[in-house]
Chains A and B, each alone.
Chain A
Amino acid sequence: MSDLFPLQVSDAQVRRRGKVLVGPVDLTLQAGGVTIVIGPNGSGKTSLLKMLHGILRLNRGVVKWACTTDEAQKRQAFVFQTPVMLRRTVLENLVYPLRLLKVPKTEAHQRAGDWAGRVGLGDALRRQATVLSGGERQKLAMARALIRDPDVLFLDEPCASLDGRAMREIETILQNAAASGTRIIMSTHDMGQARRLADEVLFILHGKVHEFGPAAGFFDTAETPQARAFLNGDIVE
């Protein structure tokens, strides 16, 4: 069980150019499992994930891990909705985070080859990452995040605009990661995916957490009218 948790978020808020992107948020996340963040477009899902991960600086409040922030930062990874590919080969993309951690070159190459195989990119090691298809890019981004063996993996709609096969492959990777102890915090638009993966669900609207609790309870008996409307497929403003 990771000693990064519990993650305590108190009165956390991020503003940019006078506009509140997310917050104020009060939240406690425990170790283990998959937390799925859902909400309509522009509700603050991405901002919430980036705030928890530390990419967005807080304007007020606290995001407090059970260890030091520096230590916590080293043990997290983030997969973006539009995967950012380093302008290098697939192999070099995978080796990069390991070299940052000062893993010896030979071992880094070995682990990179192993991870490329696991996500189905074993034959593409020498290809430029920028020429991969959308699904391949997302799998590479995921492998590049997981190769560091993070305790926490944040994912921002990793399956947006992917076909069914690529989505299934990515969900399998995620389920394996969760099974091996990686804490997963992920946003999605896809309610089917949320039902398949979630242990707990966080519903966000206008940058504020409206509901947070076990997935089964949420999908069966959401408490707030906004969450119920969202689950019914209604437009939520």
Chain B
Amino acid sequence: MSELWDGITQAFWLIFTLDADLVEITLRSLQVTLTALLIACLIALPLAAVLSVRRFPFRRITIAVLNALMGLPPVVVGLIVYIFLSRSGPFGVFGILFTPTAMIIAQVIIIVPLIASIAHQSLRDLWAEYHDLLISMNTTQGQRIRTLLWDSRRALLTAALAGFGRGIGEVGAIMVVGGNIDHATRVLTTAIALETGKGNFALALGLGFVLIALAIAVNLTIHWLSHTEREGRW
């Protein structure tokens, strides 16, 4: 119990003094995860919309596979990305292993299925509601997809936030492909793992509280910016 209290004290102190290392790894965590989130959204949301609107062979299997990939083990993703980016791998020539770019790639692979699956659920329901109307209005496939994405933006925001949550808290894959290198690829989660390994539970807990606070702050900011829950229906 005293470690928990020490952790809270440490977290408060680290934030209050704007500890340079903390600021650095926090900014890197945000940079990696927000970049991965942006790229993942650009892939996952149109993919989810196409899966909702278009009928093509193996569509159901594609959706089932996408749902199954939500449970991708991050360490395995990290390992596969590692193999692809290592010197002997097909993309070794780019020399991006143990860089934030490699961490972003791993996170994108992990969160795309999650965002696409959640987005697909809400887009599919909205498509069922809009189907006859949009067909009757003689809309093109592109217009239908744009309409669905725009009108489900609140639900898609939830999907994106779920992706952010998974990304910011991820440790296995980015540890493997990032290497947890000080001042280069160390982020909050890998720092927590390192400090725990060293027995610095208070510092690890402190970083953990900072991570939780960060996740909550980003969620609140996005909700505030997107005007969620402002238009009451009752």
Contacts and interface: CB of A to CB of B under 8 A. Distances in A.
A131 B231 CA distance: 10
A181 interface: no
Interface in B102-148: 126, 129-130, 132-133, 135-139, 143, 147
A20 interface: no
B1 to A, nearest CB: 48
Contacts of B152: 87
A80 B151 CA distance: 20
Interface in B143-184: 143, 147, 151-152
Interface stretch (A23-31, A70-78, A217-225): A70-78
Contacts of A87: 126, 151-152
Contacts of B136: 53, 55, 76-78
Interface in A75-126: 76-78, 80, 84, 86-88, 96-97, 100
A50 B136 CA distance: 9
A135 B152 CA distance: 25
Nearest to A50: B132
Contacts of B133: 78, 80, 84, 86
Given A86-B151, A130-B233, A131-B233, A80 B132 contact: yes
Contact of A73 (B132, B138, B151, B233): B138
If over half of A's interface residues share one DSSP class (helix, strand or loop), that class is named, otherwise mixed; here it is mixed
B132 A88 contact: no
A128 B231 contact: yes
Nearest to B143: A100
B231 A84 contact: no
Nearest to B129: A84
A84 B129 CA distance: 7
Contacts of B231: 128
Contacts of A128: 231, 233
A55 B132 contact: yes
Given A87-B151, A128-B231, A97 B129 contact: no
Nearest to B234: A131
A30 B152 CA distance: 41
Given A84-B129, A87-B151, A88-B151, A100 B135 contact: no
Contact of A84 (B132, B138, B143, B233): B132
A216 B67 CA distance: 59
Contacts of B151: 86-88
B160 to A, nearest CB: 18
A137 B143 CA distance: 23
A138 to B, nearest CB: 14
A97 B133 CA distance: 11
A84 B151 CA distance: 13
B132 A100 contact: no
Contacts of A73: 138
Nearest to A99: B143
B75 to A, nearest CB: 40
Interface in B2-40: none
Question: Of residues B135, B137, B233, which shows the largest number of chain A Cβ atoms within 10 Å of its Cβ?
Answer: B137
B128 to A, nearest CB: 11
Contacts of B126: 87
A78 B139 contact: no
Contact of B137 (A50, A88, A100, A130): A100
Given A86-B151, A87-B151, A55 B137 contact: no
Contacts of B135: 54-55
A97 B132 contact: no
A128 B233 CA distance: 9
Contacts of A100: 137-139, 143
A54 B139 CA distance: 13
Given A86-B151, A100-B139, A128-B231, 10 more contacts: A76-B136, A77-B137, A78-B132, A80-B132, A84-B132, A87-B152, A88-B151, A100-B137, A128-B233, A130-B233
6 contacts: A55-B132, A55-B135, A86-B133, A87-B126, A100-B137, A128-B231
